[in-house]
Amino acid sequence: MQGIKYFPQDLNIEGKRIILRVDLNVPLNNKKIQDSTRIDQVLPFLKDLVKRKSKIILISHLGRPKGIKDSALSLLPVYRYLKEKLNTNMYFYTGEINEEVNAKSMYLKESEILLIENIRFFKEETENDENFSKRLGEMGEIYINDAFSCSHRKQSSIYSITKFVKEIYAGPLLRKEIIAIDSVIKKKKNPVTCIIGGSKVSTKIGVISNLVKSVSNIVIVGAMANNFLAYKKYEIGKSLSEENSEDLVKKILSEAEAHKCKILIPEDCLVSKNFEGEAVSKDVKFVEKDDIILDVGPKTVKIIEKIIDSSNTIMWNGPAGYFENKNFALGTNAIALRISENTKNGSLFSVLGGGDTVSAINKSGLELSFTHLSTAGGAFLEYLEGKDLPGLSVLK
């Protein structure tokens, strides 16, 4: 992506208030951080800004609280984690976005950090509300977007805020992601296989209809696969799926045929009656009304491994199953291992992305290696698709 204005390394920022939008959207379970990758990646730049005596206003979302203050999605655990890692005064702001927060930003001393509570606790964030964006913008003289993984969202703290701050830049993490993904797009060799899984079906299903035009194979796993199984009239029981997706699936399948892109969906799966249960392996024909599909089955794993072996480039986003329960990490771990082996022996170019994908890889305990591992999921897919991401277009 050309023309993005990056934060200049030699800029004098002493005493300046910097609004830094990052992605601290980490997986939580009972308010405990399950994977700290996204926070750890933000740390070096934060430390640099602290060292250079700026005043930092840190903004992030966590999950999708839909404008409601949901304590399960509070950034408090992230605040505690950051505070432990950073050697400076840090404050957590849980109030409204008004004069009060503005005053707090004014009172910050050099090298201090003010973390704003989950910005999606305010519905104005996702509505990209002008007034709200203006109030956010008033907190600083410089705005830096270092959240590539959120840049596909036209939301206040990513998009409209940029109208209300004088100096706007992209941060170093965002830069690193773009350079890495651009180099893969440039060097990719056919056959290209895209593996798409995860649970954010609505975000990704639209992306697939575009990807069929440019890749050789699309392997559909995770909750995404349930829509395709349901479309083919298989019982999917109580499995996660997107309502009214039939027309989209139909369009994807016919577009795929027109562009000679092979679409692979699972032939067997691992099911259980609940998320904490044991795995039962079944052909997709035999799923029952009270089953939840939580992973792909061993037969499907073999087929996917063959496709990986025959590919020269792999792009993967979204786990194949509910890997949080190790009984359902079969598909995800097998895919990760095969891609890694082929990357290590030089026969494959691999780019992986997504918060959950990264978390699954860390959790697998396997020694894995890939050409590029991105923390971005939806943004990564849309960027690959060739879309102009709203959050990036305003950084030019």
CB of 38 to ligand 3PG, least distance (A): 8
Answer yes or no whether residue 318 interacts with Mg ion by CB under 5 A. Answer: no
Minimum CB distance to Mg ion smaller for 149 or for 272: 149
Q: Which stretch binds Mg ion (CB under 5 A): 39-47, 201-209, 264-272, 373-381?
A: 373-381
Answer yes or no whether residue 197 interacts with ligand 3PG by CB under 6 A. Answer: no
Burial group, residue 200, by CB count within 10 angstroms (0-12, 13-18, 19+):
buried
Minimum CB distance to ligand 3PG smaller for 102 or for 203: 203
CA-nearest of 105, 91, 90 to 138 is 105
Burial group, residue 281, by CB count within 10 angstroms (0-12, 13-18, 19+):
middle
Catalytic status, residue 378: yes
From 318, 321, 331, 378, the catalytic residue: 378
Q: Is the peptide bond before 191 cis (omega within 30 degrees of 0)?
A: yes
Minimum CB distance to ligand 3PG smaller for 26 or for 236: 26
* From 153, 338, 363, 372, residue interacting with ligand 3PG (rule: CB under 6 A): 153
Sheet holding 292-296, edge to edge: 280-283, 268-272, 292-296
Minimum CB distance to ligand 3PG smaller for 176 or for 273: 176
DSSP 78: H
Answer yes or no whether residue 37 interacts with ligand 3PG by CB under 6 A. Answer: no
Answer yes or no whether residue 377 interacts with ligand 3PG by CB under 6 A. Answer: yes
Q: Which two tokens stand for residue 149?
A: 């993984």
DSSP 100-131: HHHHHHHHPPTT-EEEES-GGGSHHHHTT-HH
Report the DSSP pairing between strands 28-29 and 32-33: antiparallel
Which residue is closest to Mg ion by CB?
A: 355
* From 64, 69, 232, 306, residue interacting with ligand 3PG (rule: CB under 6 A): 64
Answer yes or no whether residue 353 interacts with Mg ion by CB under 5 A. Answer: no
| Residue 291: contacted member of ligand 3PG, Mg ion, none (CB under 5 to 8 Å, by partner type) | none
CB of 282 to ligand 3PG, least distance (A): 30
Using CA atoms of 162, 165, 167, 168 in order, give the dihedral in degrees to the nearest 10: -20
Separation of alpha carbons 96 and 366, rounded Å: 44
CA 36 to chain centre: 14
Answer yes or no whether residue 123 interacts with ligand 3PG by CB under 6 A. Answer: no
Question: Which residues are at the interface with Mg ion (CB under 5 A)?
Answer: 355, 377
Question: Which residues are at the interface with ligand 3PG (CB under 6 A)?
Answer: 23, 25, 64, 149-150, 153, 200, 203, 355, 377-378
Which residues belong to the active site? Answer: 38, 200, 355, 378
